[in-house]
Amino acid sequence: MGPVHARMGTLHTPSGALVYKHRALLHEHGSPATFPEMEPHLRYQRIAEISAVFTPGSPVNTLDLFAGRKDQILALLAVLGQRGQHAVLYGERGVGKTSFANILTDLFHDKSATPIAAVRVNCASDDTFASLWASIFRRLRVSVDEDRPLTPEHVVDLLEQQSRRPLIVIDELDRYENDDGLSLMADTIKALSDHAVPATLMLVGVADSINQLIGDHRSVERALVQIQMPRMSVAELELIVDKGLSKLRMTISRHSKTRIARLSEGLPFYTHLLSRSAAIHAAEDDRAAISERDLDRATQDAVDKAQQSILSDYEKAIRSAHTDNLYKEVLLACALTDKTAEGFFSPGNVRLPMARITGKNVTISAYSRHLNEFAGAHRAAVLVKDGSPRRYFYRFTNPILQPYVVLRGIADGLMTEDLLTELRHPGKDSIELPEQA
Ligand SMILES: Nc1ncnc2c1ncn2[C@@H]1O[C@H](COP(=O)(O)OP(=O)(O)OP(=O)(O)O)[C@@H](O)[C@H]1O
Ligand SMILES: [Mg+2]
């Protein structure tokens, strides 16, 4: 940070004037490499702006920052077009379910051009069927006759009377630990569907909670369109970077943008985390252009300043009294394997990345014990084990841990970013991405 120049006398004007000055400057010269030097409080304002645009901790709720998900939007619009059809949206933690729900409700909510009234509620662990619907009707601004209990019939009656068609998003279904409530919800969906009531429910949760809903109540299956929210593609993740930086009037090279997208491993949480941190490093230097070095520092931040729960799970998973143990390598190989859409992999899948990390050809027996241990409480149960003897499958219990293990592997020198690119895009690793500021 350099001294404030005399030419920045205008800094004493309100910040709005300075923003205006920036804009004029940007307009004249395109995207500059640096912002005019700033007074510290303006620099902090800029950092605050960055933190409002890249929000790893909270869902997106405006369309200008929302990237991709076209297939899912189309699938939901098709459901909305059909009476008697409802949707379940499921996907891993942190994959972008709530952001998607926010955007949908934002698209429709209170827009007089559309006859749809969209609301979103979150389930809480102590919610009952009645408390959940009471809060839905409150949000729909529908008054409920207090003397009549909120049963499925009552709910259906009330929804039938609405002039604007309700689109009701029930998020965090996995928190709704109420078996009776789940049965009543299934009954409600069935009744809405049978009576072709012009109202649409969208239930949102992780796959397990959806299985629980449908598994025990097969009769609702026909009324429910299942929309999977997969991890995001590299192109979608790059779009998150683009949208955020264009709002901030900052730039990044194509190469760095692709690095962010690849290191995110499909989880937009990491795209926000890395972009925010890299942008802040640039802003601290009054630069509008994010450099490769800013991104290197951001990846290190992601390792050093990860959520405490992630750090402690990782440490617990790899701890050992023996220096020649393989826990770190095996966990990293698990993070690098090809997985099913639900995140599952088999012990056989671990072989290739294991060979690439250790430089040796290993057999499954060299690490099957480690996999088994990772599923136990002693190693923080970082993996979930499923299947039967001789055909076991594993997945990361917390999907957010998986990209962390990769970032950590790179930071600790166990692997390179090139290996990640090669494993994710076999045959394409030789393509050189052009540098462009
Ligand atoms: N389409 C998107 N465009 C831009 N950012 C996104 C998008 N989807 C998700 N994000 C970002 O990714 C992170 C996780 O998103 P979100 O909270 O919506 O996920 P989730 O699936 O609801 O997570 P959880 O299972 O923990 O409730 C947030 O930082 C959010 O801002
Ligand atoms: Mg959510």
Assess contact for 382 and 401: CB atoms under 8 A: yes
Q: Report phi then psi at 107, rounded to 5.
A: -60, -35
**Residue 433 within any structural domain of the chain:** no
pLDDT of residue 427: 55
C-alpha distances (whole Å) from 352 to each of 331, 333, 411, 424 are 13, 8, 21, 12
Domain count, the chain: 3
Q: How many residues does the chain have?
A: 437
Angle between helices 351-358 and 417-424 (to 10 degrees): 150
Q: Give yes or no: residues 165 and 78 share one domain.
A: yes
Assess contact for 335 and 406: CB atoms under 8 A: yes
Q: Give yes or no: residues 249 and 277 share one domain.
A: yes
Task: Map 105-159 to HEC letters.
Answer: HHHHCCCCCCCEEEEEEECCCCCCHHHHHHHHHHHCCCCCCCCCCCCHHHHHHHH
**Residue 431 within any structural domain of the chain:** no
Classify the phi-psi angles of 208: left when phi > 0, otherwise alpha if psi is within -120 to 50, otherwise beta: alpha
Distance 403 CA to ligand 1 centre (A): 15
Q: Give yes or no: residues 154 and 289 share one domain.
A: no
Q: Give yes or no: residues 210 and 274 share one domain.
A: no
Which residue from 98, 202, 227, 233 has its CB within 8 A of the most atoms of ligand 1, so it is best to mutate? Answer: 98
Q: Is there an atom of ligand 1 within 6 Å of 69 CB?
A: yes
C-alpha distances (whole Å) from 21 to each of 8, 15, 53, 315 are 11, 10, 21, 49
What one-letter code names the amino acid at 136? I
**Residue 288 within any structural domain of the chain:** yes
Q: Give yes or no: residues 219 and 97 share one domain.
A: yes
pLDDT of residue 115: 80
pLDDT of residue 111: 62
Q: Is there an atom of ligand 1 within 6 Å of 104 CB?
A: no
**Residue 432 within any structural domain of the chain:** no
Assess contact for 334 and 350: CB atoms under 8 A: yes
Residue at which a domain ends, from 228, 252, 267: 228
Which residue from 60, 76, 238, 275 has its CB within 8 A of the most atoms of ligand 1, so it is best to mutate? Answer: 60
Distance 56 CA to ligand 1 centre (A): 8
Assess contact for 82 and 90: CB atoms under 8 A: no
Alpha carbon distance 171, 101 (integer Å): 8
Q: Report phi then psi at 204, rounded to 5.
A: -120, 130
Q: 383 is in which domain, residue-wise?
A: 308-424
pLDDT of residue 221: 85
Name the closest ligand to CA 92. 1
Assess contact for 379 and 316: CB atoms under 8 A: yes
pLDDT of residue 200: 94
Distance 180 CA to ligand 1 centre (A): 30
Residues 6 or more apart whose Cβ sits within 8 Å of residue 196: 83, 84
**Closest ligand 1 atom to 66 CA:** 3
**Residue 1 within any structural domain of the chain:** no
Name the residue at shortest CA distance from atom 9 of ligand 1.
96
**Residue 259 within any structural domain of the chain:** yes
pLDDT of residue 107: 79
Q: Give yes or no: residues 282 and 314 share one domain.
A: no
pLDDT, tens digit only, all 437 positions of the chain: 333 333 333 333 333 333 333 433 343 444 555 666 667 788 899 999 999 999 999 999 888 899 999 999 999 989 988 888 999 999 888 899 999 999 988 777 666 566 888 899 999 888 899 999 999 999 999 998 888 889 999 999 999 999 888 999 999 988 887 778 888 998 999 999 999 999 999 999 887 767 777 776 777 888 999 999 999 999 999 999 999 999 999 999 999 999 999 999 999 999 999 999 999 999 999 999 999 999 999 999 999 999 999 999 999 999 998 888 999 999 999 999 988 877 899 999 999 999 999 999 899 999 999 999 999 999 999 999 998 888 899 999 999 999 999 999 999 999 999 999 999 876 544 333 334 33
| Cα radius of gyration rounded to whole Å, the chain | 25
Q: Give yes or no: residues 202 and 247 share one domain.
A: no
Assess contact for 341 and 230: CB atoms under 8 A: yes
Q: Is there an atom of ligand 1 within 6 Å of 36 CB?
A: no
The token duo for 386 is 């499923």
Name the residue at shortest CA distance from atom 13 of ligand 1.
269
Residue at which a domain ends, from 282, 304, 326: 304
Question: For residue 334, what is the domain's CATH number?
Answer: 1.10.10.10
**Residue 268 within any structural domain of the chain:** yes
Residues 6 or more apart whose Cβ sits within 8 Å of residue 168: 118, 119, 120, 121, 136, 140, 199, 200, 201, 202
Q: Is there an atom of ligand 1 within 6 Å of 269 CB?
A: yes
Query: Among residues 277, 284, 319, which one has the least CA distance to residue 302?
Result: 277
Distance 191 CA to ligand 2 centre (A): 27
Q: Is there an atom of ligand 1 within 6 Å of 240 CB?
A: yes
The token duo for 216 is 């025990």
Assess contact for 271 and 361: CB atoms under 8 A: no
Residue at which a domain ends, from 304, 328, 348: 304
Q: Give yes or no: residues 185 and 280 share one domain.
A: no
- Note the pTM of the prediction, 2 decimals: 0.85
Alpha helices in 216-338 (DSSP H): 234-248, 254-263, 268-284, 292-304, 308-318, 327-336
